[in-house]
A and B are shown apart, each in its own frame.
Chain A
Amino acid sequence: MTTYSIPARVAHVVRHEGEPQVFLMRLPDGPPVVLEGTGATIWLLAVDGVDDVAAAVADAVGECREAIADDVEAYLVKLVEIGLLEVRSD
């Protein structure tokens, strides 16, 4: 399983008022990005080192893993592409 971490030059602030919100900004120029709801949950699980993010999200939203795995994987790939997440090398 791929694991993820927060890139060194990404500022992040997490807020838990109601649904989780994750504010992110590549430093030093940005622009800032906000992830909300499921998007925020996926990012938080990924940077928490969860091995199977899709399974964890499925468990959180009451779906079966297979139903959402492709979407979660695509979202993680996108986050890596835009520099808001990085694949852990260890």
Chain B
Amino acid sequence: MPWSVGIRFAHAAVQVLADDHGVDLLHIKGPAVDESLLDHERHSIDADVLVRPAHVGRLIAAMHEHGWRTQYRFEDGSAFEHASTLVHPFLAPVDVHRRFPGIDADAEVAFERFWEERHVADLAGVPCAVPPVAAQRLLLIIHAARAGRLNHGDISRGWVAASEAERAAVVEVADAVAARVALAAGTGHLDEHIGAPGYELWKVLSTGDPSKAHLWVARVRAAPTRRAALRTAVRLLVPNRQRMEVSLGRRPTRREVVGAYFSRSRRGAREFVSTIRATVRERGGR
């Protein structure tokens, strides 16, 4: 089965499970993208869905009952802990998003904003809810910005080639879901947000800064609370056993985990410690 078919079938299967279990979800990226934002077929590696946060547990339980297995939990994924990856014996993997990096509004509020203006797209013959086109533009732009791919076609089509009215609609959505900094990172206006929460993180991400230490610093400083900052800092230091297991194809040995820990420690311990100290000092009152 061609991969592109497996992705469409994964979207369709998840939609049916959502319908059966009363789960609200929106299909994003890949084949769910509106035709007006495409100039060729998108080549995806997985199917992405954004789920109403309160319904995430229900969806994942339903998927587990139908042959899906959690490969990465939310906490095994990126530092944003935004998505969990589920795999299936013959369908493409599904990334279940409980929020979208760059959107700082409460995840339930942001989901509802997209949900109330949803459209329906046909994926493998199954009606699937997708965000409104302006929100799709926003998601594609900030996703490309997060990957440091400012020349990506998603930004060209989603912003550069957009009309004034289309850009205004994107900005309106970004304002509604607190994504102006991330949007600015993707559209070349990040300097207008110097000093804003998240500015430093999106500068590092969108410029593709290869320094892991810089990314540590930026991610820790972007955390909304001291508790979150500490959690983020520790997460970025400690090797992830689940990712090591997938990479190795077996459970890592204690020696390998310890080796990875010290490898990370040597690379960034000095920056890590100074970052924690600085963050604690700066956020002492929060």
Please name 28 pairs of A and B residues whose Cβ atoms are closer than 8 Å in the assembled complex, sorted by A.
Answer: A6-B125, A10-B125, A11-B8, A11-B9, A11-B12, A11-B13, A11-B124, A12-B124, A13-B4, A13-B9, A13-B125, A15-B5, A23-B1, A23-B5, A23-B9, A25-B13, A27-B12, A28-B13, A28-B16, A28-B20, A29-B13, A29-B66, A29-B67, A30-B90, A30-B91, A32-B5, A32-B6, A34-B1
Interface set, chain B 59-109, CB cutoff 8 A to A: 66-67, 90-91
Residues of B near any A CB (own CB < 8 A): 1-2, 4-6, 8-9, 12-14, 16-17, 20, 66-67, 90-91, 124-126
> Given contacts A27-B126, A29-B66, are A9 and B5 in contact (CB under 8 A)?
no
CA of A25 to CA of B4 in the docked complex: distance in angstroms? 14
CA of A11 to CA of B9 in the docked complex: distance in angstroms? 6
CA of A12 to CA of B20 in the docked complex: distance in angstroms? 19
Known: A11-B12, A11-B124. 5 other contacts (CB 8 A): A12-B124, A23-B9, A25-B124, A28-B17, A28-B20
Interface set, chain A 18-44, CB cutoff 8 A to B: 23, 25, 27-32, 34
User: What's the nearest-Cβ distance from chain A to residue B146, in Å?
Assistant: 30
Chain A residues with CB under 8 Å of B66's CB are 28-29
Chain B residues with CB under 8 Å of A25's CB are 9, 12-13, 124
Q: Which residue from chain A places its CB closest to the CB of B6 in the assembled complex?
A: A32
CA of A65 to CA of B206 in the docked complex: distance in angstroms? 63
Chain B residues with CB under 8 Å of A15's CB are 2, 5
Number of interface residues of A (CB under 8 A): 16
Chain B residues with CB under 8 Å of A10's CB are 125
CA of A15 to CA of B91 in the docked complex: distance in angstroms? 18
Residues of A near any B CB (own CB < 8 A): 6, 9-13, 15, 23, 25, 27-32, 34
Q: Which residue from chain B places its CB closest to the CB of A47 in the assembled complex?
A: B125
Pick the residue among B2, B5, B90 that contacts A31 (CB under 8 A).
B90
CA of A28 to CA of B14 in the docked complex: distance in angstroms? 7
> Given contacts A25-B12, A27-B13, A28-B66, are A13 and B5 in contact (CB under 8 A)?
yes
A32 touches B90 (CB 8 A): yes
CA of A13 to CA of B123 in the docked complex: distance in angstroms? 9
Chain B residues with CB under 8 Å of A31's CB are 90
Chain A residues with CB under 8 Å of B20's CB are 28
B16 touches A27 (CB 8 A): yes
User: What's the nearest-Cβ distance from chain A to residue B16, in Å?
Assistant: 4
A12 touches B16 (CB 8 A): no
Residue among A10, A30, A31, A34 with the highest chain B CB neighbour number at 10 A: A30
CA of A25 to CA of B124 in the docked complex: distance in angstroms? 9
CA of A57 to CA of B17 in the docked complex: distance in angstroms? 36
Chain A residues with CB under 8 Å of B4's CB are 13
Chain B residues with CB under 8 Å of A34's CB are 1
Chain B residues with CB under 8 Å of A30's CB are 9, 13, 90-91
